Amino acid sequence: MMTPWRELFYKKLKGLKLEGEVLDMGGAVDADYHNLFQKKDGTHIYVLGFDKNYGYDIQADLEKATTLNNNQYDTVLCFNLLEHIFNYENVLQESYRVLKINGQFLLAVPFLFNLHPCPADYWRFSGDCLRKNLEKTGYRNIEVIEIYTGLFETLFQIAYNFYGFNFLRFVFKKIAIFLDLLLGLIGGIKYKNLIKNYPLGYLVKAYK
């Protein structure tokens, strides 16, 4: 069963377009989100990673500079990775370096989320922090998209691992959705505006 963060994040990916050479930093060779994109013929996704359990096409230590060529890729993906890299600025700098001019950078990070070491969990980034870091790296046309849901489903996300079993998760998620619907009816626009301040995470689009 997907977490609310992953479910909502995947919905944002559907319909986004990829073409040419794509680098997935810290992904997996069989990542299910690869199938959510609209890909033009000839598009190829290369996975840059370090964990054999997830698989990779290119092995690299993401805490350090890579040996990849400058201006090599049309798109770089960086999903649910930045929080696990202590030297996260290296990831941003490398993503920028290997992108072609006018290349697309897609980044996603959780925010209101439990600790999830893989192998460690270092950071949480606000939308303002992401924008400043990308501007510092050199990116332009930066769009930061808050991914959020209702108050009770946010609480369900935070306690997701506590429930342990998918049956319990299913039951509590349905309860959370119902309570959020009720709050939405009572609170109206005020509630909808307030909940934006409690994002599960962010999806960011930027260009070199």
Position 34 scores a pLDDT of 96
What is the helix (H) or strand (E) element at residue 206, kind and residue range?
strand 201-207
Indicate the DSSP class of residue 106: E
- All CATH 3.40.50.150 domain ranges of the chain, comma separated, are 4-149+199-207
Convert the pLDDT of each residue in 137-163 to its tens digit. Answer: 999 999 999 999 999 999 999 999 988
Tell which residue, 132, 46, 47, 134, has the closest CA to residue 93.
Answer: 134
- The whole-angstrom separation of Cα 144 and Cα 128 is 9
pLDDT at 50: 87
pLDDT at 192: 85
Cβ–Cβ under 8 Å, residues 23 and 94: no
pLDDT at 164: 85
Q: What is the distance between the alpha carbons of residues 70 and 90, in angstroms, rounded to a whole number?
A: 15
Rounded to whole angstroms, how far apart are CA atoms 84 and 123? 7
- Tokens found for residue 189: 């626009």
CB 103 within 8 A of CB 78: no
What letter would DSSP give residue 14?
Answer: T
* pLDDT value, residue 15: 85
* Segments of the chain scoring below 70 in pLDDT: none
Length of the chain: 208
Residue 52 tokens, joined: 């054999």
H or E element that contains 39 = strand 38-39
| Structure-token pair, residue 102 | 């006018």
Can you identify the CATH homologous superfamily of domain 4-149+199-207? Vaccinia Virus protein VP39 (3.40.50.150)
SS3 54: coil
| pLDDT score, position 3 | 93
Per-residue confidence (pLDDT) for residue 193, from 0 to 100: 87
